[in-house]
Amino acid sequence: MKNSKGEDYITMEDFDNIKKDRDNLKYMPDQKLHQQISFIKSGIRILGYAIIPFSLVWATIFLILSEIIGIIEELV
C-alpha cells in the first residue's frame, strides 16, 4: 500500500523484522575487530612481498603467517 507521495507505508512486519535484527546483534561478528585483523594481515602480507628480493625463506614465512591470520580473521 502506498501513501499520497507514492511511498510504501511502514507495516508492523517491518517493525518485527527490525526487532529480530536487533535481538540477533549478539550473534553478529565484531566488525571493528574483523577490520583491525584485516589491516594487520594486509601489513604482514605487504611486508612479505617486500622481503622477496632479500630472503625467500623469510618472505615465505610472512606470507604463510598472513594466510593464517586471514583464517583467524574469518572466524572473528
- Is residue 33 predicted with pLDDT exceeding 70? yes
- Is residue 25 predicted with pLDDT exceeding 80? no
Instruction: Look at residue 21 and tell me if it is in a domain.
Output: no
Average pLDDT over residues 35-40: 95
d(CA 69, CA 29) in angstroms, rounded, equals: 16
Instruction: Look at residue 69 and tell me if it is in a domain.
Output: yes
Instruction: Look at residue 33 and tell me if it is in a domain.
Output: yes
Task: Name the most confidently modeled range: 6-15, 28-37, 53-62, 67-76.
Answer: 53-62
Identify the domain containing residue 49 by its residue range.
Answer: 29-75
Instruction: Look at residue 41 and tell me if it is in a domain.
Output: yes
Instruction: Look at residue 46 and tell me if it is in a domain.
Output: yes
Instruction: Look at residue 47 and tell me if it is in a domain.
Output: yes
Question: In this structure, what DSSP letter does residue 6 have?
Answer: S
SS (H, E, C) 11-73: CHHHHHHHHHHHHCHHHCCCHHHHHHHHHHHHHHHHHHHHHCCCCHHHHHHHHHHHHHHHHHH
Query: Which pLDDT band, with edges at 50, 70 and 90, does 7 fall under?
Result: confident
Instruction: Look at residue 64 and tell me if it is in a domain.
Output: yes
* pLDDT at residue number 28: 74
3-state secondary structure of 4: coil
Domain count, the chain: 1
Instruction: Look at residue 3 and tell me if it is in a domain.
Output: no
